Amino acid sequence: MRKLYVVVLLIFSALVASAQYSFDPKKLTQELKELSSSVMDGRRTGTEGNRKARVYIIDHLKQLGIERFVPGYEQPFSVSQAGSLSEGTGGVNVLGVIPGKKEQTIVISAHYDHLGNRDGRVYYGADDNASGAVALLAIAEYFKKNAPEHRIIIAFFDAEEMGLRGSRYFVNATDLEKEKIVLNINMDMVARGDKNELYACGAYYYPHLKSAIESVPKTEGISLVFGHDNPASGDNDWTNQSDQGSFHAKKIPFLYFGVEDHPDYHRITDTFDKVNQDFYAKSVETILRAVKALDKSLDH
């Protein structure tokens, strides 16, 4: 009888744990492992590893039934940066779209490129930013199954590590007024929080975004902290440190989710085994709850 009680308790505990999430946390973990594996060779813009990562993402979008925003999901652009890539080397953004009930559009984004392979050493970029890209796949799957109020562009940007090149190309090549883009929600490094803290940056400029998500039910075991967006804070101002900066430059409101830098940031040790899988799942759930709240509350 006691053994039966233990089995029932374990099953109940597993059901409670899975019910906490709006997605499959095991699938999330597996996809993070795959996108940050040695097969992708660091995903540096213009390399074979980057192309493999792009194919991986597009295949998943197709499986989810996500519509293309551009032909073949791919938005190519030219990249040139002395000492990094040769003139004319191409970057490629991956763009999907989920129809909404309203005409206004929210762009949810994450960059999928990283630093690549240098002298035979792979920079895996598990947290930076395979974590954001895989989180974006989970969010896309959720809104494919649960129709959003706003139209959503799902944007996997390339060449972020070269100075936000992919997102800059997107905001300059896209008719922002025609597409009625009213908000960018960006994710960059969301898998490792040593203090169980996830930061939301952007409310300093756009306080209405903070008020919209403060009442969202909290995810147990994780703290959502607003900050890192005051220009007076110097290096601690994250406003232009990831792709949300390209939208902010166009006066499009943004909210950026990320963690503080850790010792493995931009090192070969930013690997899947360093990820706290429990924190990562809770981080993605927190972001998804915020996105759902903003989708329902934004008034234009």
Domain of residue 194, CATH code: 3.40.630.10
Provide φ and ψ at 60, rounded to 5°: -70, -40
CB 128, CB 242: distance < 8 Å: no
What tokens does 140 get? 């896309």
CB 180, CB 208: distance < 8 Å: no
Count up the domains in the chain and report the number: 1
Query: Going residue by residue through the chain (300 aa), what tens digit of pLDDT does each one get?
Result: 555 443 333 333 333 444 589 999 999 999 999 999 999 999 999 999 999 999 999 999 999 999 999 999 999 999 875 444 444 579 999 999 999 999 999 999 999 999 999 999 999 999 999 999 999 999 999 999 999 999 999 999 999 999 999 999 999 999 999 999 999 999 999 999 989 999 999 999 999 999 989 888 899 999 999 999 998 877 789 999 999 999 999 999 999 999 999 999 999 999 999 999 999 999 999 999 999 999 999 875
DSSP 101: S
Bridging pattern class, strands 254-258 and 181-187: parallel
Q: pTM higher than 0.85 for the full model?
A: yes
Domain that holds residue 67: 2-297
Give the CA diameter of the chain.
72
